[in-house]
C-alpha cells in the first residue's frame, strides 16, 4: 500500500489544503494499491503563483542550462525504469514488457528530444527590417490522461520547460502514481523551485481551477472530447491559448491488392495496443468486400492468439482495462454492437474464462459494420475492432473520412505510391502506410474533434512559444 500525502509545489512537498484522499486501484487485482491527496482550487492557486514567480527567471535561463535539466530528468527516468513501468502496469494494465518500452521509454525520449530541439532551435530570425523573436508563452497548465500517463505528461512538461515555460501539472486521478515518481526525479536533479508543480485531484475541481486561473497562460489537455470541449470553453472565455489532444476513431484501409495476411494481423495488433486504451488505435478496419471473409478469418486468428492475463505474466499479450467504469463502458458497446446487427466474429460480452478478478475483456471483433452503427462512430477505448467492407477506393476514402474524429489512420496497398496517394486524402493528423512505424518525434495531433495543436518534435516545441516582431 502506497500513501502519498503531499503535493509538489514551489520545489517542496507540501500538504494539500484538503484532508480528502483519492484511492488508486490496481487494475489486475481490483484492490486499492495507493492513496493520493484530493487537491483543491486553493492548491492550484498556490501552484500557479509559484509557477508565475519562477517564470520570470526560468524564461531567462540559457537554453543550454534548460536542456541540461531535461537530460538529467531523462537519466533519472532511465535509472528508475523498472520501478516506474511496474507502477504503470499496475495502474493501467499494460503488459510489463511493453510498459517498459512505451510507458517509460517514450517519456525518456521526450525529455532527451526536447533538450536537443531547444539546443538547436532558432529563437530569432530576421525578416526585412524586423527581428522575429520566439518567446516562452508563460505558465502552462498540463492536464493529462490515464492511458499513457507518463508519456502524456512528458509530451507537455518536457517541451514546455525546455521552451522556457513553467508548469502546473494535474495528472489523471486514475493513474497518478507515476507523476509522483517524476516529481521525485525533478526534485533530485534540482530543477529550480516553481518550474514544475504537481497538484493531483479530480477534473471538475483541479482541472477547472487550472483552466480558469487568470495567470495560466496556456492549457495543454489530453483526454476525452467532452472534457476538451469544456476546457476550450473556459479558456476561450478568457482568451487563453489551448492545445487539445482528444479522441479518435481511426480508419485502417486495406486495399484489395495489399498483403492481406500481414495487413490484417498488423491491424489487429494496432487496434488492441494497451488493450485498446489508445486514442490513436486503428479501430475501424476497412476491407475490400471481395476479401472480407478471408480478412475475418485472419483477424479472428490474430485476436485469439492474444493471450489475456496478468500484465506481469510472460505469456500475456493483453492486460486488463484500467477500471470498473471502463470495463462497464466497453461491455455496453459490445452489447450495442450485437443489438445493432453487426456480425460478432470473435470475443463478446463478459470476462475471459478464468479471469473473474481484474478488469479483463475478451478481444472482440465485429464485421459487416456500417458507418451508421454506434460502434463505428464512437470511441470504445477497449479491445474492440470493427471491420467495414467497401467496394471501391473512393468509397474507402469516404468511409474513412465519415467520422467526427481525425487523429490517426492507416493504408495498406501493393505499392508505397498508391498507399501514399490515399493517405493524402484522409482527413487525419497522421497516417501510417504499409505498417509504417510510429515516430515519437513526428507531430502528433488531430483534425476535427480530435483536437487542436500538435505535440512532440519541433511542432510540439513551438506550441509553447509566442512570436514577437521587433521593427528596426
CATH number at residue 231: 3.40.605.10
Q: Helices 105-120 & 63-79, crossing angle to 10 degrees?
A: 170
Please, which residues bridge with residue 9 across strands? 12
Which grid cell is 463? 506550441
CA distance 54 to 59: 8
Same domain, 179 and 306: no
Split into its structural domains, the chain has a count of: 2
- Is residue 103 exposed (0-12), middle (13-18) or buried (19+ Cβ within 10 Å)? buried
Q: Do 51 and 139 meet the contact criterion of CB atoms below 8 Å apart? A: yes
The active-site residue, picked from 70, 142, 235, 279, is 279
The active-site residue, picked from 245, 296, 432, 455, is 245
Q: Which one, of 393, 429, 388, lies nearest residue 412 by Cα?
A: 393
Please, which residues bridge with residue 224 across strands? none
Same domain, 238 and 341: no
What is residue 451's predicted lDDT score, i.e. its pLDDT?
A: 96
DSSP calls for 391-452: SSHHHHHHHHH-SSEES-EEEE-SSHHHHHHHHTTS-SS--EETTPPP-TTS-B--EETTEE
What is residue 398's predicted lDDT score, i.e. its pLDDT?
A: 98
Same domain, 234 and 315: no
pLDDT in tens, 42-93: 999 999 999 999 999 999 999 999 999 999 999 999 999 999 999 999 999 9
Please, which residues bridge with residue 139 across strands? 166
Q: What are phi and psi of 254, to 5 degrees?
A: -115, 105
Per the structure, the complete domain to which residue 179 belongs is given by 2-246+450-471
- Please say if 279 is a catalytic residue: yes
Which grid cell is 262? 500481414
Same domain, 7 and 156: yes
Same domain, 81 and 221: yes
What is residue 24's predicted lDDT score, i.e. its pLDDT?
A: 98
Same domain, 237 and 333: no
Q: Do 247 and 278 meet the contact criterion of CB atoms below 8 Å apart? A: no
Query: Length of the chain, please?
Result: 472
Same domain, 261 and 128: no
Same domain, 276 and 186: no
- Please say if 70 is a catalytic residue: no
Q: Do 382 and 321 meet the contact criterion of CB atoms below 8 Å apart? A: yes
Same domain, 161 and 78: yes
Same domain, 111 and 241: yes
Q: What is the spatial order of strands in the sheet that 130-136 belongs to?
A: 124-127, 130-136, 465-471
DSSP-assigned letter for residue 235? H
Element (H, E) at 227: helix 225-237
Same domain, 220 and 261: no
- CATH number for position 271: 3.40.309.10
Which grid cell is 186? 525533478
Same domain, 297 and 320: yes
What is residue 215's predicted lDDT score, i.e. its pLDDT?
A: 98
Which grid cell is 129? 527590417
pLDDT in tens, 254-275: 999 999 999 999 999 999 999 9
pTM for the predicted model, two decimal places: 0.96
Give the sign of the dihedral formed by CA 36, CA 42, CA 45, CA 47. negative
Q: What is the mean pLDDT of each run of 10 residues along the chain (472 residues)?
A: 96 97 97 98 98 98 98 98 97 96 97 98 96 98 98 98 98 98 98 98 97 98 96 97 97 97 98 97 98 98 96 96 97 98 98 96 98 98 98 98 98 97 98 96 97 97 98 96
Which grid cell is 395? 468509397
Amino acid at each position: 500500500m502506497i500513501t502519498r500525502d503531499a503535493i509538489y509545489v514551489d520545489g517542496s512537498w507540501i500538504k494539500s489544503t484538503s484532508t480528502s484522499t483519492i484511492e488508486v486501484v490496481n487494475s489486475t487485482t481490483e484492490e486499492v494499491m495507493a492513496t493520493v491527496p484530493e487537491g483543491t482550487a486553493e492548491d492550484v492557486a498556490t501552484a500557479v503563483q509559484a509557477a508565475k514567480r519562477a517564470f520570470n527567471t526560468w524564461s531567462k535561463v540559457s537554453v543550454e542550462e534548460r536542456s541540461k535539466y531535461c537530460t538529467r530528468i531523462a537519466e533519472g527516468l532511465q535509472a528508475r525504469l523498472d520501478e516506474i513501468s511496474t507502477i504503470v502496469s499496475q495502474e493501467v494494465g499494460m503488459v510489463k514488457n511493453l510498459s517498459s518500452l512505451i510507458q517509460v521509454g517514450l517519456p525518456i525520449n521526450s525529455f532527451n528530444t526536447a533538450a536537443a530541439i531547444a539546443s538547436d532551435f532558432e529563437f530569432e530570425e530576421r525578416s526585412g527590417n524586423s527581428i522575429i523573436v520566439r518567446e516562452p508563452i508563460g505558465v502552462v497548465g498540463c492536464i493529462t490522461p490515464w492511458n499513457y500517463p507518463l508519456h502524456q505528461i512528458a509530451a507537455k512538461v518536457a517541451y514546455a520547460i525546455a521552451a522556457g515555460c513553467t508548469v502546473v501539472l494535474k495528472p489523471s486521478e486514475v493513474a497518478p502514481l507515476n507523476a509522483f515518481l517524476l516529481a521525485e526525479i525533478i526534485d533530485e536533479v534540482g530543477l529550480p523551485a516553481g518550474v514544475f508543480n504537481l497538484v493531483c485531484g479530480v477534473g471538475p475541481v483541479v482541472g477547472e481551477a487550472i483552466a480558469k486561473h487568470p495567470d495560466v497562460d496556456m492549457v495543454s489537455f489530453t483526454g476525452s472530447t467532452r472534457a476538451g470541449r469544456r476546457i476550450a470553453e473556459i479558456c476561450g472565455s478568457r482568451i487563453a491559448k489551448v492545445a487539445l489532444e482528444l479522441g479518435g476513431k481511426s480508419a485502417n484501409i486495406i486495399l484489395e491488392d495489399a498483403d492481406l495476411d500481414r495487413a490484417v494481423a498488423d491491424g489487429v495488433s494496432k487496434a488492441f495496443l494497451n488493450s485498446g486504451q489508445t486514442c490513436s488505435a486503428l479501430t475501424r478496419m476497412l476491407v475490400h468486400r471481395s476479401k472480407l471473409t478471408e480478412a475475418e478469418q485472419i483477424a479472428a486468428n490474430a485476436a485469439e492468439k492474444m493471450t489475456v492475463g496478468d500484465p506481469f505474466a510472460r505469456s500475456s499479450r493483453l492486460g486488463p482495462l484500467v477500471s470498473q467504469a471502463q470495463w462497464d463502458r466497453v461491455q455496453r458497446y459490445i452489447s450495442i454492437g450485437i443489438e445493432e446487427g453487426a456480425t460478432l466474429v470473435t470475443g463478446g460480452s463478459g470476462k475471459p474464462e478464468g479471469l473473474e478478478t481484474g478488469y479483463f475483456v475478451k478481444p472482440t471483433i465485429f464485421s459487416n459494420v456500417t458507418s451508421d452503427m454506434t460502434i463505428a462512430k464512437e470511441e470504445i477505448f477497449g479491445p474492440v475492432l470493427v471491420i467495414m467492407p467497401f467496394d471501391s477506393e473512393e468509397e474507402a476514402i469516404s468511409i474513412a473520412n465519415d467520422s467526427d474524429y481525425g487523429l490517426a489512420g492507416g493504408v495498406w496497398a501493393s505499392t508505397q505510391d498508391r498507399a501514399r496517394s490515399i493517405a493524402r486524402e484522409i482527413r487525419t493528423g497522421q497516417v501510417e502506410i504499409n505498417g509504417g512505424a510510429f515516430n515519437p518525434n513526428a507531430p502528433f495531433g488531430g483534425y476535427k474533434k480530435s483536437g487542436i495543436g500538435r505535440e512532440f518534435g519541433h511542432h510540439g516545441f513551438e506550441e509553447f512559444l509566442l512570436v514577437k516582431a521587433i521593427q528596426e
